[in-house]
Structure 1
Amino acid sequence: MNEKTARAIMLVKAIEEADQHKEVLTDDDRRFASRTARELAHWQAAEQRSASTLPDFLYHRAEQLLKRLAARHKLFASITQGHSGLWGASWLLPLAALLAGGMAERFGDPHRVDLLSMPLLGIMAWNMLAYLLLTLWILLPSRRAGLRRGLANRMALGGGHLPHRLPHALANGVLQFMVDWARAGAGLNLARIARILHWSAAAVAAGALLSLYARGIVERYAAGWESTFLNPWQVHRLLSVLFAPVEFIFGLEGFTMDEVMGLQNWNESRLGNGARWVHLYGASLLLYVVLPRLALGAIAALRALWLRRHFPLDLDHAYYHLLSVAAGGEPGLLRVLPYSLTVDEARSKGLDILAQTMLGEQARVRLLPPAAYGSEAPALEGGEGVTNAVLFGIAATPEQENHGVFLAALGRGRKLIALLDQSALAARVDATRLSERIELWREFCILHGAEPMVVDLLAAVAASENPA
């Protein structure tokens, strides 16, 4: 699945989930889109002599719905064609960096060049520090990955502004999409940011290098140096370490100790030939900055290209399970594990209704034996079309040593939904206390890697038996 496909699918998902009352997309719209998408997906599969896939169906369906929304709401059309906030920076920043690098080495006397050129030494020192920080950053524990995604999430939303005067449900859906899209595309955006930064750093050095040689054509460089704190021996050692790799690789001649001493304090009678200085610094910029940064930028660009063509969209969600049935897939299965909770007949019916809402009218429920309070989490099997859920009654207070440990063990390495049944508590407390308890459970489940879903199993049964 590529980035364009994933974007359309996620945008429609967010809008449909926000449009609970079918204000912007009617049932007829959705049925027509599903029917058309099923036909297009089968036709495409026949053309390619392959099997029809769920992503193909989802994309064709999303296209149909987005076309309808764009036709009805002209301001919405700009959102469907949204660009990443990085598209402009991908060429503006390297261009600005090239110009900045070209100006960096021009500060000071245009005819005299310092053996200890601060602009050029600064460019190389900054990049050496950047390589060190990059190495440490890569070695950071994976649990800190969220820190790395912050910049990517903010920059990814660049062009995704929200037009005014959209219907309330549509506006809420677009806002939710912007959040979901930034989170899902964090890896891709990090790769794009890395590419831009590496190539911009290479452009700074390349600009300085080109400026050195371009100015040397029409001006004569004379090299010398002066320092308040460094003596000739220290300057010679610094230059020897700095230029040793380029002297070895490119066969250039460095500055001897006698030459360094003779060039101190800009001795007019012994000002050095600037050509050697230009070649040494130019080769150093090429070796230390331009080539490594171009290589790192190319690696990031290849990673971004791969992620763009293989966008990591997680289809293990109730929304996609529900649509997989419409695409001709097998009915979904909701496997429910109650925790320290006995599910009576009424609540069992509520689970059946919930499964049909989540996974389609033909969805089934498999109710597992309840887990005792404080017990260890059993192993839950996965499978295509299977949604695993643990059922909690929120009348109980969540405890780290029991509920937390159980959730963390149960959800390790797999998708897990935490069903938070409020039916028992809703009859005993007011709306404020109920809201507080729900929020406590939601935060607790998210902290332990489960997706919270607040339900009222008894209310669902009553609504089905007495429709309005």
Structure 2
Amino acid sequence: MNEQVARRVVLVRSIESADTAHEVLSEDDRKYASRSARELAAWQAADSKSAATQDHFLQQRSDQVLKRLAERIPAFATFQKRGLGLHGVWLALPLLALVAGFLLDRIADPHRVDLLSAPLLFIIGWNLLVYLVLLVRAVIPGRKTGWARPGLLHRLSVGKAALPRKLPGPLSRGLANFLEEWAVLSEPLTRARLSRTVHLSAAAFALGAVLSLYWRGLLTQYVAGWESTFLDAGQVHTLLSWLFLPVLTLIPYLQGFSLAEIEALRFSARTPAVGGERWVHLYGATILLLVVLPRLLLALFAALRARRLARRFPLELEHPYFRRLADSIGAGTAATLRVLPYSFTLDEARDRGLWTVAAMALGAQARVLLRPTVPYGEEPKEALGEGSLDEAGVTVTAALFSLSATPEKENHGAFLDYLGRHSKRGVAVLLDESSLVERGAGQAGLEARITERIALWRQFCSFHGVAATVVNLLDPAKRPIELGAGLALPELR
């Protein structure tokens, strides 16, 4: 699905997830939306002579839900019409950069071409440094999140965070959750657009400086020369020879220069004034070759990536919410919960309880893939092996701990950190309270100890970037998990 459809689908998911008491959307509203969407998706598929897909169903259903909410709540209709993000930035920045580049060289003497022009040398040097940094980031492995901070990306993705007033509480919470979630989901697309705009702006800035040179040359007689306190003619000749080597090699009709000519062009040499046309062409061609052209190519690559992401938005349809809706139209497949127990061996009763928990979270057809227990203190790499944990067919990967255990950074924490590094989809954490409840049965203050231990584990998991779900494998109904809410995955960042 494309960006616009994905945005509406995520908006509906956020609203439904926040409206747990069905205050905004009743059960009848939701069933009607699903039934209508199923029929519309079937008609759409029949018209195109193809099979009905989950994408078609989700698109039609989100349209139905949003239309009904807009009819009932005018403030929500206003929110819907408001565009997300700061779209004007993508056009304004290159235009401002072009004007700034045109005005930059006006700071210098308008009647001469300085062979050591600080603004022009800065433009070339800065861009060469940027290319070097991009090359190093491409070659050296590691997290390539880019230079943009999350706050900037959030503002570019969703714009002003202010919500309309006079909204029902669940709807207001749903919209707030949507803004946060969409900012995270659209981060790759926003980064691609920002990269495209930054490269375009850099090219426009350099182009503006070149246009300024030629524009002033139409109205002014340039005098070429140079002056320096620390550089002599030989050093200046070497510097300029390296600087203009690419254009002199690729464009033979451009005239070169000798050491004697450089010496004669020193402003303190009191030699007859020399026209600056040759140097304008050399600087102009060099900036076009080393700055404008590479930046335009980088902008093109970023634009193609942004276009691809906008057309095929990477929305994770394995989320339990989407799986539940897919099941309602017969398009769902059995989900698989892979469980990695740590220093915790499951007996037959707890194994059955784990299957019940999987059915609660992922649907009645959910399957459990129980991996061998990781022994206490063993290196995760040795116990689990190398490689990614994102194999095809696994819906959710969960680490299983006993609530009776005390979390330790060097053992439990190292295990969670390893899972987080090797799973792009994120890892859920299951905390089984059954052993603690069994040992403390009949003792005073048991509930308080359980609550305290849950708080300790959740704080520990949060520190390691994961979220925890408390379960009771001997009595799963005691800790029910709402179908569609699924297991708690790492918080959006």
Task: Specify if TM > 0.5.
Answer: yes
Q: In the alignment, which residue of structure 1 is the partner of 2:402?
A: 393
Secondary structure of the structure 1 residue equivalent to 2:116: coil
Structure 2 residue 124 is the aligned partner of structure 1 residue 124? yes
**Could you list the runs of 5+ residues in structure 2 that have no partner in the other structure?**
438-445, 481-493
Q: The residue matched to 2:430 in structure 1 has which SS?
A: strand
Q: Does 1:310 align with 2:312?
A: yes
Conservation of the 8 A alpha-carbon contact between 1:100 and 1:204: yes
Matching residue of 2:458:
439
CA contact (8 A) 2:349 2:474 kept: no
- Select which of 421, 424, 429 maps to 2:432: 421
Report the CA distance between 1:97 and its aligned residue.
0.4
Q: Does the C-alpha gap of structure 1 residues 444 and 279 become closer, same or farther in structure 2, counting only changes over 3 Å?
A: closer
Distance 1:320 1:153, change over 3 A: same
Residues 132-171 of structure 1 mapped to structure 2, 5 A cutoff: 132-143=132-143, 145=145, 150=150, 151-171=152-172
Unaligned 5+ residue runs, structure 1? none
Moved more, 271-280 or 149-158: 149-158
Q: Is 2:229 aligned against 1:228?
A: yes
Contact 2:53 2:331 (C-alpha < 8 Å) held by counterparts: no
Provide the TM-score with structure 2 as the length reference: 0.82
Could you tell me whether the CA contact under 8 Å between 2:265 and 2:271 is conserved in 1? no
Return the TM-score normalized by structure 1: 0.86
Structure 1 residue 356, shift from structure 2 partner:
5.1
* Distance change (3 Å), C-alpha of 1:178 and 1:138: farther
Contact 2:389 2:423 in 1 (8 A): no
In 2, distance between residues paired with 1:250 and 1:203? Answer: 23
1:116, distance to aligned residue in structure 2 (A): 1.0
| Paired residues of 1:322 and 1:332 also in contact (CA < 8 A) | no
- 1:154 to partner: Cα distance: 4.8
* Cα distance, 1:366 vs structure 2: 4.9
Q: Once the 2 structures are TM-superposed, how far is the Cα of residue 442 of structure 1 from its aligned partner?
A: 3.4
Instruction: Say if 2:470 is the partner of 1:454.
Output: yes
- Alignment partner of 1:209 is 2:210: yes
**Structure-1 separation of matches of 2:390 and 2:104:** 62
Q: Equivalent residue for 1:358?
A: 361
1:9–1:336 Cα change, 3 Å:
same
Q: Secondary structure at the match of 1:452?
A: strand
Q: Give per-residue Cα distances to partners, 1:187-210, cap 9 Å, x unaligned.
A: 211111110110000001111111
**Rounded Cα–Cα distance in structure 2 between residues aligned with 1:113 and 1:405:** 62
Partner of 2:61: 61
Matched length: 459
Give the aligned partner of residue 39 of structure 1. 39
Offset of residue 71 of structure 1: 2.3
Alpha-carbon displacement from aligned partner over 1:338-384 (angstroms, at most 9, x marks no partner): 832546769956963x5554344x44565859847548459999776
In structure 2, how many angstroms separate the alpha carbons of the residues matched to 1:21 and 1:380? 36
SS in 2 for 1:272: coil
Of the three residues 271, 285, 292, the one matched with 1:283 is: 285
Which AA in structure 2 matches 1:286?
L
Asked if 2 retains the 8 angstrom alpha-carbon contact of 1:398 and 1:444, the reply is no
CA distance, structure 2, for counterparts of residue 367 and residue 96 of structure 1: 56
CA RMSD of aligned residues (A): 3.4
Name the SS for the 1:113 alignment partner.
strand
SS of the equivalent of 2:31 reads helix
- Alpha-carbon distance, 1:286 to partner: 0.6
Q: List per-residue Cα deviations over 1:78-109 (Å, max 9, x = no partner).
A: 44355453521111110010000001111132
Equivalent residues in 2 for 1:332-343, closer than 5 Å: 332-333=334-335, 335=337, 337=339, 339=341, 340=344, 342=346
> Does the CA-based 8 Å contact 1:6-1:311 persist in structure 2?
yes
CA pair 178-139 structure 1, distance change in 2 beyond 3 A: farther
Quick one: distance in 2 between partners of 1:440 and 1:98? 50
1:320-350 alpha-carbon deviations (Å, 9 max, x no partner): 1111111223464564748325467699569
After superposing the two structures, state which structure 1 stretch, 35-44 or 142-151, moved more.
142-151
Residue 16 of structure 1, CA deviation: 1.5
Deviation, 1:405, is 6.5
For residue 431 of structure 2, give the secondary structure of its aligned residue in structure 1. Answer: strand
Alignment identity in percent?
43
